[in-house]
Amino acid sequence: MTDAAGHDSFRADVLAIAAHRDDVEQTCGGTLLRMAARGLRTAILDLTQGESGTRGTAKERACEAAEAARQLGVGWRSALQLPDGAVENTLENRMALVPVLRSLRPRVVILPYWQARHPDHAACAPLGYDACFLAGLARIETGHPPHRPFKIIYASLYADVRPSFVVDITPFIEQRHLALMAYRSQFANQPTGGGLFVPEEEIRERTFAEARHYGKLAGVRYGEPFVQKEVGLVDDLTLIPVQSI
């Protein structure tokens, strides 16, 4: 599941791309759980190994990412070797993503929101978008047929923006938390980075409160927010979800 060489035999309906191992768990882990429960094939691509992080080693984070992927029920997960802390939207980096996109052939790609405190997160959004475009160009040869995802959405949990829509993750909130806490090197209490990281005993309260906030906006208990750049299309006015009054 976590071997990059294995993506030739796996096809994904939904692919989440993030800068670091544990980003997906924080922003759209519940959504991946919900999609897997619906029978959709899910996958995660982390862009970096985590070698520059304040806590943990790249090897530790790889093991933790494998356990988190198991908790999330994803069918495939791998990590590129873009420099942690220096992710850039370059042609070389875009071309590193193209073979993965063409092999997995996702219909939906989830990216982080394009404005973020961490430069890697902000860079990941345009990098992922541009790679999705290049993946559809037939004259770029990679050994896989061209493929361009139908939909690109942005996980906006930490962005100060109104979401385009919210995914109800109420049945999956506990499993989502277990997947996040698989990263013991990052979230367990320890002296290293003590002033930078949220204390372990507060993580559950904070993450559940955030999910509760977005769930309330959509009339459910727990939710994860997303932004889409396109205008939505409605076929039947009587089936639009979320009550107005």
Looking at the domain assignment, is residue 242 inside a domain?
no
Looking at the domain assignment, is residue 235 inside a domain?
no
Per the structure, the count of domains in the chain is 1
Looking at the domain assignment, is residue 233 inside a domain?
no
What is the residue whose two structure tokens read 């002033």?
A: 195
What is the domain extent for residue 121? 4-228
CA distance 198 to 70: 24
Model pLDDT for residues 122-134, shown as the tens digit of each residue: 999 999 999 999 9
Looking at the domain assignment, is residue 241 inside a domain?
no
Number of Cβ within a 10 Å radius of residue 242: 10
pLDDT of residue 51: 83
pLDDT of residue 57: 84
Looking at the domain assignment, is residue 50 inside a domain?
yes
**Which CATH number characterizes residue 198's domain?**
3.40.50.10320
CA distance 218 to 225: 10
Model pLDDT for residues 141-175, shown as the tens digit of each residue: 999 999 999 999 999 999 999 999 999 999 999 99
CA distance 12 to 204: 30
pLDDT of residue 196: 66
Looking at the domain assignment, is residue 210 inside a domain?
yes
Nearest residue to 82 (alpha-carbon basis) of 25, 30, 29, 19: 19
The torsion angles phi and psi of 182, rounded to 5 degrees, stand at -65, -20
* pTM: predicted TM-score of the whole model, two decimal places: 0.92
Query: Environment class of residue 189 by beta-carbon count within 10 Å: exposed (0-12), middle (13-18) or buried (19+)?
Result: exposed
Kindly report the average pLDDT of the chain as a whole number. 92
